[in-house]
Amino acid sequence: MYDINGIARSAPNWLDRTMEFIGEFGIVLGFGVLMLCAWWSVRKRGDAPSAVAALAWAPLAAGIALLVNIPIREFVKRPRPFVDHAGLEVLVKGKTDYSFVSDHATLTMALGVGLFVAHRKYGLIGIGLAFLEGFCRVYMGVHYPTDVVGGLALGTAVALLLAPLAMMLLTPLARVVGGTRAGWLVRSRRTVAPVMAGPGAPGRGVSEQPLHRDNDLAA
């Protein structure tokens, strides 16, 4: 904790202000952009409904993980590190709630893992952002490293363990939406839907011609 936070003490003021913005708001905003990019991409795949359902699970998983964290924080009741440890460079003042586990680490990791379920490339970027968020929280002097580790673990557990149930519920809903006027939310117009072979074509079954096929877990 002192080694990471010590960087803030010797860093120029502009770097501290940048890390403060990134750690408080910047990475969360970055996830918003990442989610939009992933949504634009998965709509073009042959398995678009299941991929969009997996993408919708990411923010839901983050919300559930934050709710799970409420009783954990109240049970552990760990004060912020600057309460018990002198000499820390605290970049964000006014933090009076408990420290374990980090909400920001929980939120970003749940989003990152949820993204990974839908799209591996964007998910890996998201997981990288979650680790960066954890570093920023310690750098800012508002969390212990173990607060961050706990948050990363909690976000991962919620996003992965509840994913099968979430997909069972969200995939049929995405397919229904795909058949309405709001279908553009689920499937791009350029995506070729599955083609059923007619009765005059023996030996032929169902074929799909997706424009984009990605190595993903949703499939």
Handedness of CA 5, 6, 9, 10 (dihedral sign): negative
Strand partners, 196: 206
pLDDT score of 190: 60
Q: Name the band, by pLDDT with cuts 50, 70 and 90, for residue 8.
A: confident
**What is the domain partition of the chain in residue ranges?**
2-167
Residue 184 has pLDDT above 50, yes or no: yes
- Cis before 101? omega within 30: yes
Specify the pLDDT at position 196.
Answer: 40
3-class state of residue 209 by DSSP: strand
pTM of the shown model? 0.81
- Per residue in 62-84, pLDDT tens? 999 999 999 999 999 999 998 88
Which pLDDT score, from 0 to 100, does residue 206 have? 38
Tell me the average pLDDT of the chain: 83
Read off the pLDDT of residues 86-128 as tens digits, 9 standing for 90 and up: 888 888 887 888 999 999 999 999 999 999 988 889 999 999 9
Q: Which two tokens stand for residue 8?
A: 């803030």
On the question of pLDDT at 136 being above 50, the answer is yes
- State the pairing for strand pair 192-196/206-209: antiparallel
**pLDDT tens per residue across span 140-160:** 989 999 999 999 999 999 999
Give the residue ranges of DSSP H helices in 79-162.
81-84, 103-118, 120-139, 145-161
Partners of 207 in beta bridges: 195
How many CA atoms, within 13 angstroms, populate the side-chain half-sphere of residue 149? 4
- Identify the residue whose tokens are 């202000």: 17
Label residue 180 exposed, middle or buried (CB < 10 Å: 0-12, 13-18, 19+): exposed
